[in-house]
Structure 1
Amino acid sequence: MNFYHSKPTAVNSTAKKPTVTKRTVQIVRRLSDCTGQRPASGAPARPRDTTRFKLSARPNGSCTSRPASKIVAKRAIEPRGTKRKSQTPDRVEFSDEEDGASSSDVGGSESDAASSRKRVKSSVSSVESSRGPRRQVLAKEAFRDGAEHLSFIHGADATSGAYAAKYKNPWDEQEFVTVELQYPSKSPRERFELKWPKNEQEDYRPMEDIIETIKHIIDHYFPSELAQKHRNVDTGFERRFNHAWTRQDIPGYLEVVEEFNAVVKSLVDDGTIQRKLAAQDYLDLDLVRRILDQTYARTVSPKVESLRAYENGTDFVYGELLPRFVSKIFEQTGLNHESIFVDLGSGVGNVALQAALEVGCESWGIEQMSNPCDLAEQQAIEFPARARLWGLDVGKVHLLRGDFTADPRIYEILKRADVVLVNNQAFLPATNDKLRDMFLDLKMGCQVVSLKPFRPVKHDITMRNFGSVVNTLAQKEYEYFSNNVSWTDQGGTYYIARKDHTELERFAKLMRKKGLR
């Protein structure tokens, strides 16, 4: 669950708008070079807050997700309720690059390793290199007759009804235009309104959502030659969208969407997309993030202000691990689609959803605070439907409401768990002690990932502490780097402990040789 805030680039409202071009909609094979470009103002050189649902303007003009972070208060971790914002680039560019830390490097070295705290990012999921038994990515039911009856929250629902007052027409037209976008499945098309937020701080921008979604479908679902054709800098969809936007050419914008829809439908009808998905057994992290962002934008973002309440000096002050760091944890622990993943203190459920989508495993989360629980329930409903839109099979998700130190359901789940995540950065010592005692019921080999250690770093087994539960945990310390957590730009340490009696048995054997019990 990551909550970010950044100031978007404002569109220059003083610039003279060109008149709307009225013409008959037709398929255009190639458009000439576009010379006009919408100027922007007010974009910070480096936003201090992170965002999951934005296009971030980069010096070369390309746009990609780039997280940053913000420290909320001294000795406090950022609350889950910090609103996330979106930057508006002058031109929406397609780019395969991404700044920051590599998913194959972030958090992967032990604490005594001499390595840089800044790494180069990769868009490939960390899980690819360590996946276990082959996972099924294709959701066959998404390509059967009847899939068109799928129910989900449309992008248009986030800009109409109770939210309509927040949006305006981006062009000079009096009426709003609605478009429908085809996803890589037989599911119904998603409706979008071509609107722009009145307040530049509003974080959902449907027109950016459309363009980013098209980019990901091209990158991850099209055959390579066709993808290369439609990414062409002169004739591709990106160039034509920018051309229509700059000229305020509404028919031109609509015609690009309709041409894209026709291409996707043909690939579904002839089985190309189904065959491509059937040959895969992992998902690219960029695609995972796109689906999670869409789910979040339609369920959590409209009510994100309700998450601001937190109380210093309690267990209810916390921050979040960001998706790339979470993906690295999946890799390190060897999580696969046959595993059971548990997030203790799961907030709105983002990490549990990521495990079910990226890895395909059975995923559990439990949260006590009422507002995050309410939104987690909405995400749990939207998530499988949105994955089905993308034609993807995902693991079962269970998001519970309750106190994980007292809920009897969790005790039973922990007995079956393979990986347990505890973001205990701000937990009180008493809470960590209760959790440590709960780990007695973990099965052998189960791994616990935490921000604070459950076994003291320099702990040695002695006759005095022989019965302590910490002696059953074989623990290693690792380092994470910048932009991996929501509450700081800096790196830190985290711990992976495995339920393992080897060291305890070795000590007991040594004591027996010495004639001690």
Structure 2
Amino acid sequence: MNFSNNNKRPTITKRTVSVSVAKSATTASPPPARLRDTNRFKLSTRPNVRAPSRPAPKTVAKRAIDPRGTKRRSQTPDRIQWSDEEDGASSSDVGGSDSDGWLRTGKRVKSSVSSASSLSGPRRRVVADKAFQQDAEALHFIHGADATSGEYAANYKNPWEEDDFVTVELQYPSKCPRERFELKWPKRSENKDYKPMEDITETISHIVDHYFPPALAQKYKDPDTGFQRRFEHAWVRNDIPAFVRTVKNFNAVLKPLVDDGTIQRSLAKRDCLNRSQDLDLVRRILEQTYGRTVSPKVETLRAYDNGTDNVYGELLPRFVSQIFKQTGLNHESVFVDLGSGVGNVVLQAALEIGCESWGIEQMSNPCELANQQAIEFPARARLWGVDVGQVQLLRGDFTSHPDILALLKRADVVLVNNQAFLPATNAQLMNMFLDLKPGSQIVSLKPFRPVKHEITTRNMGSPVNTLVQKEYEYFSGHVSWTDVGGTYYIARRDETELKRFEDSIKKNMAPQPASQPSSRSRDS
């Protein structure tokens, strides 16, 4: 400002100065700690619903081998897009804490892997370096052959009516051991049992799509000479040697790409697994985990009591992925699933986003199956060369578990599938959400803040006034319990509206200054 010595009013001179800010280099922090406790895990979304059963081998014509493999119910409509201009998703750094709950992975290590929605900080590391180390510790996982032998052997037959079953080994996009498969087919026609031959063909299809260099992928996806066409020919002709040769030929193509570092370098360039084209890969890894652990015992999930909070239902992967995007979940976030079932959503968050992912469930059958998934998941992800976020599961009632309030204070996104919850349970949760930090978000199937709620002097003390909420629509194929669409809600912890209302009340109640008499009145 320039002041003159006379009595004139000071003038203000404005200058515009350009300042260049140097970009700081982003550095990748170490990958998250691997799950260490083998008793831990669970997911919260859906029993396995597979594609329609294929006809018996003798009546099969072309396309006898369904390229969808072990997929569950297909997803249908496109996602609802979240507007960043309307609701900026917030995330925050997370601190470390340990829980003495049901499943524990030890001291938390902050993930170095980021999703595409992360706008700052270190990028997510998608590649699992240990998957490409020849001298890494032994990897224990459930082979496809384990799921068709032993106690499950009676459920399978030889699809080509041979006396002996043929076993093949499949190479994955890593230096981990190959997986063994028996070329068997389920005896039952209800399409509930694991199908190893579909698993082989589907796995190869995904590796070609997501890992092969473009030119090589185009070659081996050729509709006349590609791998899938060769498998179909082998099936239609009952040609066992041709099927086995195709698997061996695939192994011979993939292994050099692993050995020379092509696969590892390709994964190292990726910073996310939450793009639309990545969902099929995410779903394949989750389905393999689910198919070897939950599917054989899926009937036990139907043992629940109607009229209580303990009713089982799952959100399906496309819907879950949509929620991750809408809430801006990234690899530095803390995700919590209240009522996580067998752990599907918890695992999907750890795989797709790479974040610290928690779940809590009290029903015993889902908890036991979640535990099995917890053991299989990290090894299965490493077979695919993919790093995952830390997963921790608690067993118990989320309204009274001793660790849950401390966890909610750290949470960035909380998922509550409260479709069947009793009103009293939802009221308890609303009170618990008062411990959430500002900006954290709650995703629910029923609203915690009534849709047409307005703040008044009578309800100023209600906890629902601490939430700002939006309603969205989901569609057929998004949840396990119905093919009909519905609504869901995303609420953000935000007291701005409440404080604004309180300020207006205080202003109206403040004493008004006495009016001054007019000059005419004084003169008279």
Normalising by the smaller structure, the TM-score range is 0.7 to 0.9
Deviation at 1:328, TM superposition (A): 0.4
Deviation at 1:253, TM superposition (A): 1.1
Q: How does 1:118-267 map to 2 (within 5 A)?
A: 130-133=117-120, 134-147=123-136, 149-201=138-190, 202-267=192-257
Could you say if the C-alpha distance between residues 500 and 278 of structure 1 is closer, same or farther in structure 2, counting changes exceeding 3 Å? same
Could you say if the C-alpha distance between residues 129 and 279 of structure 1 is closer, same or farther in structure 2, counting changes exceeding 3 Å? closer
SS at match of 1:474: strand
Distance 1:437 1:507 in 2: 21
Deviation at 1:223, TM superposition (A): 0.5
Could you say if the C-alpha distance between residues 14 and 364 of structure 1 is closer, same or farther in structure 2, counting changes exceeding 3 Å? closer
Could you say if the C-alpha distance between residues 338 and 388 of structure 1 is closer, same or farther in structure 2, counting changes exceeding 3 Å? same
Partners of 2:337 and 2:346 within 8 A in 1: yes
Alignment-mate amino acid for residue 218 of structure 1? V
Does residue 302 (structure 1) correspond to residue 303 (structure 2)? The answer is: no
Distance 1:39 1:245 in 2: 7
SS at match of 2:315: coil
Partners of 2:71 and 2:284 within 8 A in 1: no
Partners of 1:108 and 1:479 within 8 A in 2: no
Unaligned runs of 5+ in 2: 1-44, 85-113, 512-524
Distance 2:402 2:484 in 1: 37
Distance 1:128 1:136 in 2: 9
Distance 1:151 1:273 in 2: 22
| Structure 1 match to 2:430 | 436
| Structure 2 match to 1:11 | 55
Partners of 2:144 and 2:182 within 8 A in 1: yes
> TM-score w.r.t. structure 2 length?
0.78
Does residue 100 (structure 1) correspond to residue 100 (structure 2)? The answer is: no
Distance 1:179 1:158 in 2: 14
SS at match of 1:191: strand
| Structure 1 match to 2:472 | 478
1:126-183 per-residue CA deviation (whole Å, 9 max, x = no partner) reads: x976344421100111101223721111111100000000001111321001110000
Deviation at 1:391, TM superposition (A): 0.4
| Structure 2 match to 1:382 | 376
Unaligned runs of 5+ in 1: 18-35, 41-53, 57-62, 69-98, 111-126
> TM-score w.r.t. structure 1 length?
0.79
Alignment-mate amino acid for residue 216 of structure 1? H
Query: How many pairs are equivalent?
Result: 431
Aligned-residue RMSD, C-alpha = 2.3
Distance 1:177 1:13 in 2: 16
SS at match of 1:400: strand
Partners of 1:8 and 1:200 within 8 A in 2: no
Partners of 2:51 and 2:72 within 8 A in 1: no
Distance 1:316 1:453 in 2: 19
Alignment-mate amino acid for residue 248 of structure 2? E
Partners of 1:343 and 1:422 within 8 A in 2: yes
Deviation at 1:11, TM superposition (A): 2.4
Deviation at 1:282, TM superposition (A): 1.5
| Structure 2 match to 1:67 | 73
1:197-241 per-residue CA deviation (whole Å, 9 max, x = no partner) reads: 111223310000000000000000000000000001121111111
Q: Which moved more, 1:185-194 or 1:303-312?
A: 303-312
Deviation at 1:281, TM superposition (A): 1.1
Distance 1:107 1:424 in 2: 23
| Structure 2 match to 1:270 | 260
Partners of 2:336 and 2:357 within 8 A in 1: yes
Alignment-mate amino acid for residue 101 of structure 1? P
Deviation at 1:8, TM superposition (A): 3.4
Q: How does 1:14-53 map to 2 (within 5 A)?
A: 15=59, 37=62
